[in-house]
Amino acid sequence: MINFIVWIIVGGIIGWLASIVMRTNAQQGTLLNIVVGVIGAFLAGLVLSPLFGVGTINQGDFSAPSLVISLAGAIILLAIVNLFRRGTAR
């Protein structure tokens, strides 16, 4: 149970940091930051983890390299979402 709570908190922080980097922080709330952090870490686990040989927060690895990989996944996820938003706004 504690791991789940830590996972949600760390996912929220990662999503928040990614939204600051991508300058979408004003558009997102706490729940969306958590979703972006967790899904971004999941995508990083599929794509980036095998390339770098590092786990992600979804795999229970809370080391510094895993946090960076999870943050990169969240940033990539926000970049993809922003591309789709721009495409539909025209």
What is the model's pLDDT at position 89? Answer: 55
Total residues found in the chain within this entry: 90
More confident residue, 18 or 7: 18
CB atoms within 10 A of CB 87: 8
What is the model's pLDDT at position 5? Answer: 86
Q: At what angle do helices 2-21 and 30-52 cross, to 10 degrees?
A: 90
Distance from C-alpha of 66 to C-alpha of 68, rounded to nearest angstrom = 5
What is the model's pLDDT at position 17? Answer: 92
